Amino acid sequence: MTSSVLDLAPVLPVVVLTDAADAVPLARALVAGGLPAIEVTLRTPAALDAIGAIADGVPDAVVGAGTVISPRNVADAVAAGARFLVSPGWTDPLLDAMRASGTPFLPGVSTVSEVVALLERGVTEMKFFPAEAAGGTAYLKALSSPLPQARFCPTGGISAACAPSYLALPNVGCVGGSWMVPADAVAAKDWARVERLAREAAALRG
């Protein structure tokens, strides 16, 4: 895979799965739609099994773990097969664990001081969360001049409608969102709908 999670696709699907049996067909639909990178959040008991199922059963997918908030989460996610890690925020112990894992990671930030602190530690790629609530495109645009070396994956409140305005910013590599994996489509196992939404999302950066 590329060394950067930000360069895999314009949109990083953020997936919450309550049944690991849905993981493989969901991942196949996303990959078929042009979104190979998939963030499975560690918010449910099924998450680690889902990551393992995708890692084993969908070779064209690049599966990662989201909502990584502890060194234990890091170890469990990597053991399950996660190929990248995403956190909503960071602490020094969490950052150390993510770095030590040898797995690409996106630590979460929402303030200028957090961005500067990560740059001091040699980290230039970050998740901006919660994007819409924390200032949206105007905030990220304001960061691009004083901190041009920082690149972001904004996540949180992003939709198909506002994603293009984020993707147009020079310091945004991709956006994270869940609109292409709506809960009702997953519940109905409507993988064709997921694939169609993924294809539309993959085309957002023309």
The catalytic position among 114, 120, 125, 127 is 127
Query: Residue 127 catalytic?
Result: yes
Q: What is the pTM of this model?
A: 0.96
Strands 105-106 and 85-86: parallel
pLDDT at 68: 98
User: Tokens in use for 76?
Assistant: 């469990």
- Phi, psi (rounded to 5 degrees) for 154: -70, 135
Q: What is the pLDDT along the chain (206 residues), one digit of tens a residue?
A: 456 889 989 999 999 999 999 999 999 999 999 999 999 999 999 999 999 999 999 999 999 999 999 999 999 999 999 999 999 999 999 999 999 999 999 999 999 999 999 999 999 999 999 999 999 999 999 999 999 999 999 999 999 999 999 999 999 999 999 999 999 999 999 999 999 999 999 999 75
pLDDT at 132: 98
CA 28 to mean position of chain CA atoms: 17
Query: Residue 39 catalytic?
Result: yes
Other C-beta atoms lying within 10 Å of the C-beta of residue 91: 13
Amino acid at 94: L
